[in-house]
């Protein structure tokens, strides 16, 4: 706000922008200049506090983004070894099912392998690091099964069918993980 705008505000409202109520007397030009300088310092401090707050938020977001969960990386490494770096679903499909999967999905997504949690990490945080709760799945099937869709053709499925797919994918792990729930 310029000094002229400050004076215009005072002439319009009978008080300066940082005053709560009107003063008992008319302010002189020197008093207005003093109050203007005080107002400018106050506004500068507010702006500085806002900038610092934004910097803190950005720093916090960066720290979260850069935070590496070393324990989860160790578990993922064990899962990779156990599953031989291959999609568990593809390993249990028949040739006909595999051909259907290839024809229905984007081939690039079949090449990408994800660490898939059977029981979601947010719902079951105590099982986040449990090797029995994690398998390797291709990105397409992982996405489909998370969306309650058939992991081969992408069509919607019931909760029962969803559970049956997980039983097939997990094999013996299914019983072990259910015992932990």
Q: Give the tens place of pLDDT for each residue, 34-47.
A: 999 999 999 999 99
Model confidence at 163: pLDDT above 90: yes
Q: Give the tens place of pLDDT for each residue, 100-149.
A: 999 988 889 999 999 999 999 999 999 999 999 999 999 999 999 999 99
Distance CA 114, CA 136 (A): 6
**Dihedral angle computed from the Cα positions of residues 172, 72, 122 and 151, in that order, rounded to the nearest 10 degrees:** -50
Domain boundaries, the chain: 3-66, 70-180
Mean pLDDT along residues 142-166: 96
pLDDT at res. 59? 83
CB 137 within 8 A of CB 89: yes
CB 113 within 8 A of CB 86: yes
Q: Could you tell me the two tokens for 114? A: 């994800």
Q: Give the tens place of pLDDT for each residue, 6-54.
A: 999 999 999 999 888 888 899 999 999 999 999 999 999 999 998 899 8
If phi > 0 it is left, if psi is from -120 to 50 it is alpha, else beta; for residue 61 that is: alpha
67: which strand partners? none
Distance CA 30, CA 42 (A): 18
Helix H or strand E encompassing 55: helix 29-66
């Amino acid at each position: 706000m310029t000094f002229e705008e400050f004076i215009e505000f005072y002439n319009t409202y009978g008080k300066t922008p940082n005053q709560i109520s009107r003063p008992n007397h008319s302010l002189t030009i020197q008093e207005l200049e003093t109050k203007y300088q005080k107002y400018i310092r106050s506004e500068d401090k507010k702006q500085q506090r806002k900038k610092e707050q934004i910097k803190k938020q950005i720093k916090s977001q960066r720290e979260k983004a850069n935070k590496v969960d070393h324990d989860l990386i160790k578990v993922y490494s064990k899962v990779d070894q156990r599953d031989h770096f291959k999609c568990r679903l593809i390993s249990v499909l028949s040739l006909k099912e595999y051909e259907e999967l290839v024809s229905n999905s984007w081939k690039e997504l079949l090449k990408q392998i994800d660490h898939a949690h059977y029981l979601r990490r947010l719902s079951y945080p105590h099982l986040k690091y449990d090797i029995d709760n994690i398998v390797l799945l291709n990105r397409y099937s992982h996405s489909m099964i998370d969306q309650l869709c058939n992991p081969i053709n992408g069509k919607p499925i019931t909760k029962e069918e969803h559970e049956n797919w997980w039983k097939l994918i997990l094999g013996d792990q299914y019983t072990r993980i259910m015992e932990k729930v």
